[in-house]
């Protein structure tokens, strides 16, 4: 059965999500062509079919069963059909926030300042929900793009748009005043797909096993260093959640070589402690895959 079935994955054709989405799939050892003019393509060594589409359409494609899964910003999911889809993995990339921004010189005094004002956004549903939760009634003006020009064009008093570095806002004379919502790229399926036990769901399980190992690998580093042998116990105490480090004696009396895996976010703390313990020649390498 499974031999004839392919899991259908919708990814953004061109844009901020495209490259990283395909990078994760390639990191899973899945190979495919790279003709960006194609709308549809299948992997050579895994039962996976790609649909290359606009990111706005991905939630609806997955909801309607045109695709089984999709990679999309959480923002698009929450804007379009949050109740019909299920997040199967947070992929962590394409971090951004939905923020309110006002013209640079405006005396912004908190969210209440927006009461009765006109706010331009491409995310009226998310913004509407958040304003309602916070008890602010404003006029939401929908714009499908180029939201940042709305205040200068006299269409709105403020905007609510996606921000990552903030450069676009600055270039348009705007100031970010209120981050309201954060987003990353997520993999979605329609509600219930994960518990269907269908051939395609089985393929998704296989894919997720690989994706988890790729994502886990990205948050760890492999480090190697030389250490005075009498400090081995101290090092094993700072090794964190992984199994104890690998210790090999060096030819030089009283020294050992140590290898261990450390979490990316603890790396610099561990690095400083290792230096204090007399570690030398600390070599750090990325990890391609890491299973539990
Ligand atoms: P498409 O033509 O596919 O509709 P698009 O122009 O709507 O593309 P992109 O600008 O490529 O979309 O953004 C895709 C996603 O990338 C966003 O929905 C969001 O989740 C994420 N993203 C990350 N940083 C930013 C940012 N600074 N501005 C906009 N989106 C961002
Ligand atoms: Mg789009």
Domains and CATH numbers, the chain: 2-94+185-217 (3.40.190.10), 96-183 (3.40.190.10), 220-286 (3.30.70.120)
Specify the pTM: 0.87
Please list the residues that pair with 159 across neighbouring strands. Answer: 101, 120
- Atom of ligand 1 lying closest to residue 57 CA: 4
Summarised one tens digit per residue, pLDDT across range 182-193 is 999 999 999 999
Pocket of ligand 1 (CB under 6 A): 12, 15-17, 54-56, 73, 75-76, 94, 96, 162-164, 183
Summarised one tens digit per residue, pLDDT across range 239-268 is 765 667 899 999 999 999 999 999 888 899
% of the chain residues with pLDDT over 90: 85
The residues placing their C-beta within 5 Å of ligand 2, an ion, are 55-56
pLDDT band at 72 (very low <50, low <70, confident <90, very high): very high
CA distance 17 to 167: 19
Residues ≥6 apart with Cβ < 8 Å to 128: 140
pLDDT of residue 292: 75
Ligand minimally distant from the alpha carbon of residue 18? 1
Do residues 69 and 9 touch, judged by C-beta distance below 8 A? yes
Q: Supply 3's token pair.
A: 């031999």
CA angle at 264 for the pair 262 and 267, rounded to the nearest 5°: 65
Summarised one tens digit per residue, pLDDT across range 168-180 is 999 999 999 999 9
pLDDT of residue 218: 87
Summarised one tens digit per residue, pLDDT across range 121-149 is 999 999 999 999 999 999 999 999 999 99
pLDDT band at 3 (very low <50, low <70, confident <90, very high): low
Do residues 198 and 205 touch, judged by C-beta distance below 8 A? no
Task: Identify the H or E element spanning 70.
Answer: strand 69-73
Residues ≥6 apart with Cβ < 8 Å to 168: 148
Please list the residues that pair with 226 across neighbouring strands. Answer: 257, 280
Q: Which residues of 34-59 are buried (b: 16+ CB within 10 A; e: fewer)?
A: eeeeeeebebeebbbbbbbbebebbb
ipTM value: 0.96
CA of 120 to the centre of ligand 2 (A): 17
Q: Is the pLDDT of residue 156 over 80?
A: yes
Summarised one tens digit per residue, pLDDT across range 79-121 is 998 899 999 999 999 999 999 999 999 999 999 999 999 999 9
- Atom of ligand 1 lying closest to residue 74 CA: 20
CA distance 258 to 235: 9
């Amino acid at each position: 059965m499974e031999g004839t079935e392919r899991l259908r994955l919708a990814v953004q054709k061109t844009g901020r999500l495209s490259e990283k989405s395909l990078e994760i799939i390639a990191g899973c050892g899945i190979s495919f062509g790279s003709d960006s003019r194609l709308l549809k393509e299948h992997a050579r060594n895994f039962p996976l079919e790609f649909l290359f589409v606009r990111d706005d359409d991905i939630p609806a494609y997955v909801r309607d069963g045109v695709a089984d899964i999709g990679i999309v910003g959480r923002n698009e999911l929450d804007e379009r059909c949050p109740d019909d889809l299920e997040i199967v993995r947070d992929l962590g990339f394409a971090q951004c926030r939905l923020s309110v921004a006002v013209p640079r010189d405006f005396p912004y005094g908190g969210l209440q300042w927006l009461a009765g004002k006109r706010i331009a956004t491409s995310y009226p549903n998310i913004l509407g929900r958040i304003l309602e939760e916070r008890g602010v009634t404003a006029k939401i003006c929908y714009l499908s793009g180029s939201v940042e020009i709305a205040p200068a064009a006299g269409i709105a008093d403020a905007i609510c748009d996606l921000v990552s570095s903030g450069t676009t806002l600055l270039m348009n004379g705007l100031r970010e005043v209120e981050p309201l919502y954060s987003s990353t790229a997520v993999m979605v399926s329609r509600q219930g797909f994960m518990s269907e036990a269908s051939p395609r769901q089985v393929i998704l399980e296989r894919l997720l096993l690989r994706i988890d190992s790729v994502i886990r690998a990205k948050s760890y580093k492999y480090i190697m260093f030389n250490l005075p042998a009498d400090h081995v116990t101290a090092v094993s105490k700072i090794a964190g959640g992984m199994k104890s480090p690998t210790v090999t004696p060096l030819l030089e009396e009283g020294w050992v070589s140590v290898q261990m895996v450390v979490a990316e976010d603890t790396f610099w703390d561990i690095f400083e402690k290792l230096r204090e313990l007399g570690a030398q020649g600390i070599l750090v390498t990325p990890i391609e895959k890491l299973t539990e």
